[in-house]
Structure 1
């Protein structure tokens, strides 16, 4: 993490809850119409990277699940699990 000249660490977004997601979306919509405040822009910038990284991870997982689901040779049923 980059630090300022005074060695104070830069601020980071905390956990991104559903409530915070709604607030971020609202600020993003306002920004699309040129109505974003300084605070809203700061929130968007602070949360963009963690949200995009999570989206990338979820896409990779979903692609892996989709690929694995097609390959039924990779599925093994336990005794008694079949009906």
Structure 2
């Protein structure tokens, strides 16, 4: 188990957000940490894939397709 010492000012912010989300501060803090780690992992994977020209082109196409789909939904 990992024990963290969280500054009081940050604890207050977490408590406010947790009450709005109907969670305990501990639940919210863990959820936020997990989400951050998931995003970090995605960035690491993307950087790895960008090393190959072929994969870079595939990623660029996929990003463009996502942007086009989002744009068409707004029309």
TM-score, normalisation: structure 2? 0.42
User: By percentage of residues, which structure has more helix?
Assistant: 2
Largest Rg, 1 or 2: 1
TM-score, normalisation: structure 1? 0.38
